[in-house]
Chain A
Amino acid sequence: MLTLLPQLLISGISTGMLYALIALSMTVVYRATTVVNFGHGDMVAAGAYAVFVFGLGFGLPFLVALALAIVLLFAVGFATQRLLLQPIVGGPHLSLAMMALAIGYTLRGVLRLEWGNETINPQRPYLQDAYMFGNVVITTDDVVICGIVLLLLVVLFLLFQATPLGKVIQATFQSQRGAALVGINVPLFHAFMWGGGTALGAIGGVMLSMIAPLTPDLGQWTLVQGFAAMTLGGFGSLGGAVVGGILLGIIQKLLGFYLNTVFIEITGYLVPIVVLLLRPQGLFGRRAAVRV
């Protein structure tokens, strides 16, 4: 049994990297706007479909299709914030949560109307191969996913640490009024970050669709894993999203293999419940104090 452990860890890390990317894209939106996008998963799925349509439908080369999809999803995120969320900012939290959720469902409905419940298996833009290291198998998928996610993490890290953008994000998260005072166009910034977060998530969606069946329900799966990774790492923490995502991938694989395959499906639901009951601030979050 234990001889399989290294293999499980490898494939857990590989999927976990994807969860990390998706959790990170949700965290970017949350940090920037303090709104949790309950429709994020469906936007991620829409990204995967967009690449499929541009690629197979219009016959465009993969990288072109990917670039177009990223631009499209950025526009979707940007427009969503501008047109649908900005008008109700400052209103009840329920409205914000429900608006995002409803947008996600509308997207999902459109996907399902077009593709029904059929499963699409998008072509990889590279040849899938497998390499043996002792008794551990590493696939090209593993390499590509880890490589791209790591690359994106480095880029994001530099973006947040070494450019003014990071400071703007921090400032706006802490006090929107304060940010407005120092001359930040807060609504525009929010729309921009929604676009960015959505595009980032879409990249994750494209990779996810290579290792998991692409159906309109991919969005829900994605959202749940994203939430689980975020709560595990600590809601709102960028580093926490990454570590939480990787841990989630590993936990999922281990429970699924050693206990019961049903855990592959339900770990994403169990994790937020357990974490929020035992350690609400997650691994890296700070406990929010309630002020009287």
Chain B
Amino acid sequence: MNLRRIFWLLPIVLLPLPLWLNQYQQYVLNTALLYVPVGIGFNLVVGNLGLLAFSNVAYFGLGAYVSGVLMAQFDVPWWITLLPAALIGGAAGAIASIPALRGVRLFYLAIMTLAFGELMRWTYIRWEALTGGSMGMAVPVPNLLGWTLDTDLRRFYVFLALVVMLVAITDRLLRSRFGRAFMAIKDNEIAAAAMGIPTDRYIVLAFAWGGAVVGIGGAMFAISVGHLTPVSFDLTELLRQFAIIMVGGLGSLTGTIIGAVIVTVAPQVFISFPGFDELVFGLLIILVILFLPRGLASLLARAHPVFVERYYRG
């Protein structure tokens, strides 16, 4: 059991990694890192709780825009914007859970949450005074307590620290009775309620917590790309995020991390044309569903018990 602790060495091993990376590779690695919280929040709702919510990109975009707009128009330091980014992301998650609380499930829920996400994208396009509309907006160079985060290298260390923290908290959450309750709700919602679990409250909790974590990912995205446009939050982005949790493994925290890295790095191997992302993510998802329905994490879990997660069935 305590062998799991060796995982905490992983970030330490990553510390000197930038020495061997050029600037572009560093940027790609940062992107992979920021997709870890994005995938964590998504996987919590879809993988652990088992609800077909398609609104993850909404929290992601809101986190990015809240952070970017606060920095650009109100001179709020980036690290402080993390809080409103998380709060707004979490609030959006809670709103997106309303249909689920009213008993909307399966593809009905998918359609509603998809619509919610797309409406958010229209908000970025139309609210030009704040967001710059379809032309987008520049995000100022952030600083952290006086330290300017003007290079990918510097951002890397900040991102790494944030990601380690969010992974640690999520790990703790999923291994607790909450993780067990989420899985019970996924397996049999009626029986879960009969066991005294306030299922509605847990659904809101998972959506809101997931939304908050994704919102933080959005704030990381804002400073990583430096320029926000609504197209970054379209349905292709949704497909990318689905690819992350499905390739990694639905309901697996390890899987989310693996998925974030693979889905970010894999397309870089090829030269990108318009349409290429859609094709790659689409094919990835098809292949995973057909041949590895529980994701890459299931291979790990079968390979060695140290990779077995408490409430993920590989």
Q: Which residues of A are found within 8 Å of B273, using beta-carbon distances?
A: 113
Q: Of B98, B104, B235, which one neighbours A220 at CB under 8 angstroms? A: B235
Given that A84-B290, A109-B276, A265-B122 are known contacts, is A97 also in contact with B52, CB under 8 Å in the complex?
A: yes
Give 1 or 0 for each of A4-18: 1 = CB within 8 Å of chain B CB. Answer: 000000000000000
Secondary structure of the B side of the interface? helix
Verify A97–B276 contact, CB threshold 8 A: no
Which B residues form the contact surface with A (CB < 8 A)? Answer: 46, 50, 52, 98-99, 102-104, 106-108, 110-112, 115-116, 118-119, 122, 126, 190, 235-236, 239, 242, 246, 250, 273-283, 285-286, 289-290, 293
- Closest residue of chain B to A115 (Cβ to Cβ) is B275
Chain B proximity of A275: nearest CB distance (Å): 9
Verify A272–B126 contact, CB threshold 8 A: no
Verify A109–B279 contact, CB threshold 8 A: yes
Which A residues form the contact surface with B (CB < 8 A)? Answer: 36, 38, 84, 87-88, 91, 93-95, 97-99, 101-114, 116-117, 216, 220, 224, 227, 231, 235, 262, 265-266, 268-270, 272-273, 276-277, 280, 290, 292
Q: Which of B50, B108, B276, B281 has the most CB of A within 10 A?
A: B108
A–B Cβ pairs within 8 angstroms, 11 of them: A88-B289, A88-B290, A108-B282, A112-B278, A216-B275, A220-B235, A231-B111, A272-B115, A273-B99, A276-B99, A277-B99
- Closest residue of chain B to A231 (Cβ to Cβ) is B111
Q: Which residues of A are found within 8 Å of B116, using beta-carbon distances?
A: 269, 273
Known: A99-B285, A112-B274, A235-B108. 4 other contacts (CB 8 A): A87-B290, A102-B242, A103-B286, A270-B115
* Count of CB-CB pairs between chains A and B under 8 Å: 125
Verify B115–A93 contact, CB threshold 8 A: no
A96 to B265, CA, bound (A): 26
- Closest residue of chain A to B238 (Cβ to Cβ) is A101
Chain B proximity of A265: nearest CB distance (Å): 6
Verify A269–B282 contact, CB threshold 8 A: no
Q: Of B106, B118, B246, B293, which one neighbours A269 at CB under 8 angstroms? A: B118
Verify A269–B274 contact, CB threshold 8 A: no
Q: Which residues of A are found within 8 Å of B99, using beta-carbon distances?
A: 273, 276-277
Q: Which of A101, A227, A231, A270 has the most CB of B within 10 A?
A: A101
- Closest residue of chain B to A95 (Cβ to Cβ) is B289
A262 to B118, CA, bound (A): 13
Verify B115–A98 contact, CB threshold 8 A: no
Given that A93-B106, A103-B282, A106-B286 are known contacts, is A276 also in contact with B274, CB under 8 Å in the complex?
A: no
Verify A102–B104 contact, CB threshold 8 A: no
Q: Which residues of B are found within 8 Å of A102, using beta-carbon distances?
A: 239, 242, 281-283, 285-286, 289
Q: Which residues of A are found within 8 Å of B122, using beta-carbon distances?
A: 262, 265-266, 269
Q: Of A36, A99, A277, which one neighbours B289 at CB under 8 angstroms? A: A99
A198 to B238, CA, bound (A): 24
Q: Of A117, A224, A290, which one neighbours B274 at CB under 8 angstroms? A: A117
Q: Which residues of A are found within 8 Å of B98, using beta-carbon distances?
A: 277
Q: Which residues of B are found within 8 Å of A106, using beta-carbon distances?
A: 278-279, 282-283, 286
Q: Which residues of A are found within 8 Å of B242, using beta-carbon distances?
A: 98, 101-102
Verify A110–B108 contact, CB threshold 8 A: no
Q: Which residues of B are found within 8 Å of A231, using beta-carbon distances?
A: 108, 111
Chain A proximity of B234: nearest CB distance (Å): 9
Q: Which of B46, B235, B275, B276 has the most CB of A within 10 A?
A: B275
Q: Which residues of A are found within 8 Å of B275, using beta-carbon distances?
A: 108-114, 116, 216
A50 to B139, CA, bound (A): 42
A88 to B115, CA, bound (A): 26
Given that A110-B275, A110-B279, A113-B276 are known contacts, is A94 also in contact with B250, CB under 8 Å in the complex?
A: yes
Chain B proximity of A23: nearest CB distance (Å): 13
A224 to B278, CA, bound (A): 18
A160 to B117, CA, bound (A): 37
Verify A84–B115 contact, CB threshold 8 A: no
Q: Of B52, B108, B283, B290, which one neighbours A276 at CB under 8 angstroms? A: B108
